[in-house]
Structure 1
């Protein structure tokens, strides 16, 4: 009898240990066709923004109990480097200074191009919590951190010398790669959303056709592709309210009225305009800055509306202060 009890006790401990050696975050928003082809990724290097948006989505859910995706396009439009290659910590520092970011459904879909920043006339998604920093962690800290915070951010070396199997032909299986890579070999930011004894589950920014609905598995325990040398977690802090924001629409208090069709905040005295479509005769806007190219008469930047007669240009598109140069404090723990 004592032997049977002892055996059951040992089996119970083994089952408990097995359960603690795996994890998956609650279902997140679909990956979507973010970067479905290589040309798009070359044109707009926004992988850090996608990793950050995913971490914010999980932090928002923990703070409010609601599930909302955040706008990567606002980061591209308003961060001073736009589509240029940027470090994750640079974007986090920018977000701490500006302390606002719209939800994806309140700004616009991802376009992989830089358009006019509309942060001053878009609802704010960072009301229930705020970002306070970025902390580097080690593989020894990983399990406790991901189960506490929900996700962990990392970066992988996607070159042939770093992670040769991590390419657009990948459709499944555990990816093994060079174990000597470090954060300095960072090529593509990813979001670690789960793990088991043998692998990490990562959410990529390569679109839903990549891997398993936009997710991949990378070998665990060997720093494959440099993933274990670049782990960081987002530091956040809950708050009940935020000054300067309309509590009903989350729009700036100066522009409390939200127009759903154009995803724009306006003054309470202004009317919501119907969505404007660019006519075929209108000159095409090229955000690359080619000389001589200007917005046509019906150009609508990322879902905004062009000022109509009687509306002052500054009033329709109020200035939004965006930090362009920052003293980079770096990542905690580095």
Structure 2
């Protein structure tokens, strides 16, 4: 007979075991998205940078952040990193986060940020990315994309499982409001597929399966820097582009509150922030001198940034998703 162990106990058991394995050093447990701790994610560089100054062991535990917080309240973790700006209300509702107490005046975001619990460590704006060799004349506005022939093929992400997918439906909702259903009705023939997450969509795009992919204005920086490829571009729309940041917060249940506080300080440090452009392929939340590689200067930037405060996101989220789902499935 197979013994069934609850996910909460499995997570708690892993965290307890890691404390024993820390070899006498204090250990900081950081909950993060799956991509974070991969070899191509920012986790390894952050881990190395923080451990070099804290005299501790930092360990990432990855997965769906909100699901884990709701399931087991963090299960011994100290810090959560990688929540999006569209998740703050849901995360705050868990009652698990402690005020960060940091000076946010150092932030260099295109929007005001005064949240007492969550600190941005990077930011970007959503955009449809294309390959100029395959699509030399891309849509130059959201309306032009809506009006484009149906043989233009785009790939997007599911807003129920993807932060970028949720940002897309909120972006459309912010611009078109009650007219969003008509937008999705007209876009549907152009949508090649809807993937659970960003990586699947972007892989289809880079494989040549689609003309455009829902991504970020900073995505072409990866191709410029890592691949020396200047063919990928972000289509810039005059209607404005949706702002997103990834956030970090410390948990009230942490048994290493001082170490968690040190990590929060580290997030806004020059060392951490200078990693972000090439470790997370996004803009740093604090723009230190020399933080951006010169290739970032070639990136197109929108003139208008759209940002929905938490209350507006919560007021519109379910309607925006329901409208999208109805038009995608009927």
Shared fold per TM-score greater than 0.5 = no
The two structures have a TM-score, normalised by structure 2, of 0.23
Larger RCO (CA under 8 A, 6+ residues apart): 2
Is the helix fraction higher in 1 or 2? 2
**Between Structure 1 and Structure 2, whose CA radius of gyration is higher?**
1
The two structures have a TM-score, normalised by structure 1, of 0.23
Is the strand fraction higher in 1 or 2? 2
